[in-house]
């Protein structure tokens, strides 16, 4: 069965539906809205850093507020909800089930996100997205920081509820004739990150609760004046947020596993190695959180253990890259927008991983710690891999969800500007770190090298932003006025390895 273009339904029917495709659409649209909101804040920060001295932001407190909400939005309100949205759309279809295991719980998990997001944005706190103690406990302004804490508590509960739903759907609701080993790799990525979320998020929830009681004066877990230890917060934070890095990235890797075989017109090279790599990265994610804390006074033995644990992620990540390349090798590749973004994401994933390997070495980490090297490395993963994978899959599913094709010329412009802008911004930030520029600063000395690189990075950021604007225009215009897609083969691939699972299984659709 092939999806057919249906007449648009009233928005209220979608908003109050509990069907997985409707909830998926709500998740996806909401997460993309936060992507653009967070992107505007990022451009504001880069414009401020174009040159030394105040440019458009009046003071460091305002800078820190914008920085905090930007980071929180991109990580918690874009990356996680987008993966949940695509997972909601495809996972039940991939496991041959009529819906998510708990449809009402699924809708509740989504509607918690706007509530948590409203608290974060209305509070506009300055605690940074990491909220390190003791500043977040002692000095951060009360209502704003408290709203940030409660907002993230709500978003965290939403993530746990959604993860439980995915685990039950995949493990208990899949078709009896479908062995787990044959479940598509995107569904495997959602299963792995859901299990990771169930383990990781409660730790951060506990840290936030301890922070809140510290702020109320009831306890002193992280308050040095009351005998507390600020470093304890960092352990709790990174025990959650190093696995969270893989929670962000594994869905993008899973999405590329759906795109690359189809646009290469070849079967996937190895299903088993993809599953093995997903599981290994999940385990390694929980075994290497301490590499974020080499500068906090750990013993040499502890640092060595975490360094080796981090290096163990290299072969697991390499399995994915090798799997992609082996699948493409000898294929009749069609470089339409989804494939362009997928291949670009692979290249930037390799680059970001190479920088991470270098930073794993303790001597280099002491040099680059809290410099722009870390900013460049982190954002090369977040933008270069996660955003590229998510954008690729948005283009990939677009004709199946809307029944229309996107504008290919705009999509090409989007790819060129997004790739060029990503390289200009985040490769340059690596160099800024090696030149000693600290991160999270509102102003910097007028060193010629720092000025030149900040100017170059800011120009790159606006080039990237122009591409994302083209993406937004393309989505809105094409969904209403785009050319009607050939639902049998919208990308002209010939069919055998093309059709997504959603085109094979009867299910509800109304977009």
Mean pLDDT, the chain, whole residue set: 90
- Nearest Cα neighbor of 129 from 317, 306, 382, 349 is 382
Query: Taking the CA of residue 472 as centre, how many other CA atoms within 13 Å lie in the half-sphere pointing to its CB?
Result: 14
Residue 402: pLDDT above 90?
Answer: no
Is residue 175 within 8 Å of residue 155, measured between CB atoms?
no
> For the chain, how many residues are written?
511
Report the number of secondary-structure helices (H) and strands (E) in the chain: 18, 0
- Residue carrying structure tokens 């939005």: 73
Calculate mean pLDDT across residues 245-268: 93
Residue 306: pLDDT above 80?
Answer: yes
- The Cβ of residue 344 has, within 10 Å, a number of other Cβ atoms equal to 22
Gyration radius from the chain CA atoms: 22
Choose between 355 and 506: higher pLDDT.
Answer: 355
Residue 173: pLDDT above 90?
Answer: yes
Q: Residue 503: what pLDDT?
A: 36
- The Cβ of residue 280 has, within 10 Å, a number of other Cβ atoms equal to 17
Q: What is the pLDDT of residues 403-462, one digit of tens each?
A: 899 999 999 999 999 999 999 999 999 999 999 999 999 999 999 999 999 999 999 999
Domain annotation for the chain: domains and CATH numbers: 11-503 (1.20.210.10)
Calculate mean pLDDT across residues 272-285: 94
Residue 98 parent element (H or E): none
| Distance between CA atoms of residues 395 and 441, nearest Å | 36
3-state secondary structure of 277: helix
- Nearest Cα neighbor of 367 from 378, 357, 358 is 358
DSSP string of 129-174, one letter each residue: TT--TTIIIIIS-HHHHHHHHHHHHHHHHHHHHHHHHHHHHHHHSS
Cα angle 469, 475, 477 (rounded to 5 degrees) comes to 95
Q: What is the pLDDT of residues 130-142, one digit of tens each?
A: 999 999 998 877 8
Is residue 425 within 8 Å of residue 370, measured between CB atoms?
no
Calculate mean pLDDT across residues 218-246: 93
- Nearest Cα neighbor of 106 from 164, 153, 150 is 164
- pLDDT band at residue 342, thresholds of 50, 70 and 90? very high
Q: Residue 353: what pLDDT?
A: 86
Q: Residue 509: what pLDDT?
A: 34
- Residue carrying structure tokens 């809105």: 476
Percent of the chain with pLDDT over 70: 95
- pLDDT band at residue 495, thresholds of 50, 70 and 90? low
- Nearest Cα neighbor of 114 from 50, 57, 37 is 37
Choose between 199 and 1: higher pLDDT.
Answer: 199
Q: Residue 288: what pLDDT?
A: 87
Residue 499: pLDDT above 50?
Answer: no
Is residue 352 within 8 Å of residue 427, measured between CB atoms?
no
């Amino acid at each position: 069965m092939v999806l057919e273009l249906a007449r648009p339904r009233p928005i209220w029917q979608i908003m109050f539906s509990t069907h997985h495709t409707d909830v998926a659409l709500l998740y996806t649209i909401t997460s993309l809205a936060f992507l653009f909101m967070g992107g505007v804040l990022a451009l504001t920060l880069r414009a401020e850093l174009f040159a030394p001295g105040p440019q458009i932001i009046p003071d460091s407190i305002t800078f820190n507020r914008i920085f905090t909400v930007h980071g929180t939005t991109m990580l918690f309100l874009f990356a996680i909800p987008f993966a949940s949205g695509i997972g909601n759309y495809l996972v039940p279809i991939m496991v041959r089930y009529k819906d998510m295991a708990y449809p009402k719980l699924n809708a509740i998990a989504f509607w918690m996100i706007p509530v948590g997001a409203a608290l974060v944005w209305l509070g506009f706190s300055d605690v940074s997205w990491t909220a390190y103690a003791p500043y977040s406990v002692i000095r951060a302004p009360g209502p704003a920081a408290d709203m940030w804490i409660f907002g993230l508590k709500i978003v965290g509960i939403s993530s746990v509820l959604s993860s439980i739903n995915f685990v039950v759907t995949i493990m208990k609701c899949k078709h009896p004739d479908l062995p787990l080993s044959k479940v598509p790799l995107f569904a495997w990525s959602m299963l792995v990150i859901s299990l990771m979320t169930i383990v990781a998020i409660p730790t951060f929830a506990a840290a936030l609760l301890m922070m809140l009681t510290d702020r109320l004066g009831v306890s002193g877990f992280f308050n040095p004046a009351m005998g507390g230890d600020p470093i304890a917060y960092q352990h709790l934070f990174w025990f959650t947020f190093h696995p969270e890095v893989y929670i962000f990235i594994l869905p993008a890797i899973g999405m590329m596993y759906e795109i690359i075989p189809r646009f290469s017109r070849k079967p996937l090279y190895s299903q088993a190695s993809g599953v093995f790599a997903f599981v290994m990265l999940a385990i390694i994610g929980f075994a290497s959180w301490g590499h974020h804390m080499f500068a906090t006074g750990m013993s040499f033995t502890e640092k060595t253990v975490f360094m080796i644990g981090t290096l163990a992620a290299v072969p697991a990540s390499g399995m994915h890259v090798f799997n992609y390349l082996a699948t493409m090798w000898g294929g009749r590749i069609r470089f339409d927008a989804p494939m362009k973004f997928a291949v670009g994401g692979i290249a930037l994933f390799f680059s970001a991983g190479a920088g991470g390997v270098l930073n794993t070495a303790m001597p280099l980490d002491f040099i680059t710690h809290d410099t722009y090297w870390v900013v460049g490395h982190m954002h090369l993963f977040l933008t270069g891999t996660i955003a590229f994978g998510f954008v690729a899959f948005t283009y990939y599913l677009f004709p199946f969800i809307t029944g229309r094709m996107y504008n290919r010329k705009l999509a090409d412009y989007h790819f060129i500007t997004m790739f060029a802008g990503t390289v200009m911004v985040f490769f340059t930030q690596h160099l800024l770190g090696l030149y000693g520029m600290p991160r999270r600063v509102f102003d910097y000395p007028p060193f010629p090298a720092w000025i030149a690189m900040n100017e170059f990075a800011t120009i790159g950021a606006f080039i990237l932003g122009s591409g994302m604007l083209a993406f937004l225009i393309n989505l809105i215009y094409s969904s209403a006025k785009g050319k009607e897609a050939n639902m049998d083969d919208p990308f002209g691939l010939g069919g055998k390895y093309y059709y997504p699972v959603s085109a094979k299984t009867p299910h509800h659709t109304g977009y």
